[in-house]
Structure 1
């Protein structure tokens, strides 16, 4: 379990700790991986993907900088509505994972490309029930498939990457279906953008945005799409 206060304290401690003695961090340099051989069909209307890969601050930040993404919202998926809150999910026994709901335009970016970004720069998919310094099932690597097609594409891509030995270890990412997404508290939305100098963000999440620009320049947008701006427009 890692509360918001302990996460901030941990990040501050990392700044004062020699790198060689620091725990694993989630911002290690990613590797280039092939695009999925099987992709979802190009729908005419906006689609939704829900992905979990460690702390939702960084996952949200990467997709907010992704061209074709209309909105990226931090939240919880995998458990019941009653336990879909930050305090309760931090116990790691609710079934929830910190997740991000990504609304995207399939005419500008495909579901497969979102997954390629997910496996390459968002997180390390070989870590089981953790991501960098954050430990627990709430930080697991999970694709919450929204339909049968997304499930097929995700399964095929994981099999493709494992067969190609794209990573040094087997992918630990799971695929879950039929699990509703619940939006997280407002103070978690746009967190990386609103707190760019916060130590945890500097250490774990800002490098991911840089990796996104480096590995996916054609899909990178400098100005992030923010939940607060989308909400203002919709209102």
Structure 2
């Protein structure tokens, strides 16, 4: 019996030894094995999807001299996607629903972009704080607003991913806990609803990893 609703996200809930964070490292054991096998249809589909992502990220990155930069963002998309999808399986810890995981991804990215931008393109970064065509009277306020919006970017990236992962899992947990008290007819409806929610959560897992990597790419293109 859970003490509260959020205890399903507690790293030490499912076992006495807190090894649940190891779920994020399972990917490094699963993915390399595919390179030793004859390419299957699943592998070819995955390569096709990565090529499509590469083309999209290449368009967003304005600097054409940065060769291979899309590989980093495609890898980021893959890492977040696998962690989101693993969290949908029973008894597997959802690491992407914790701020310490998402903030550890967004904060170093944003910090490296800012350090590179201010040291390499200082004039461009200063000009980016002032929107083009803004009236002179509003310039001080616009600079403050742009500065604040720039500072909170890693927090918004982390909170967006965490909140979307928590929201769906909480809904699934709430409906699942009401199962033992329902009649057989209502239980069938509940199972059908849970299947629909699982499909929705799979879509959310894909979309949120895509949004995270796309926003990180856009932030990098600004510097």
Structure with max Cα Rg: 2
Assess same fold via TM > 0.5: no
User: If each structure's helix is expressed as a fraction of its own residues, which one has the higher value?
Assistant: 2
TM-score normalised over the length of structure 1: 0.23
User: If each structure's strand is expressed as a fraction of its own residues, which one has the higher value?
Assistant: 1
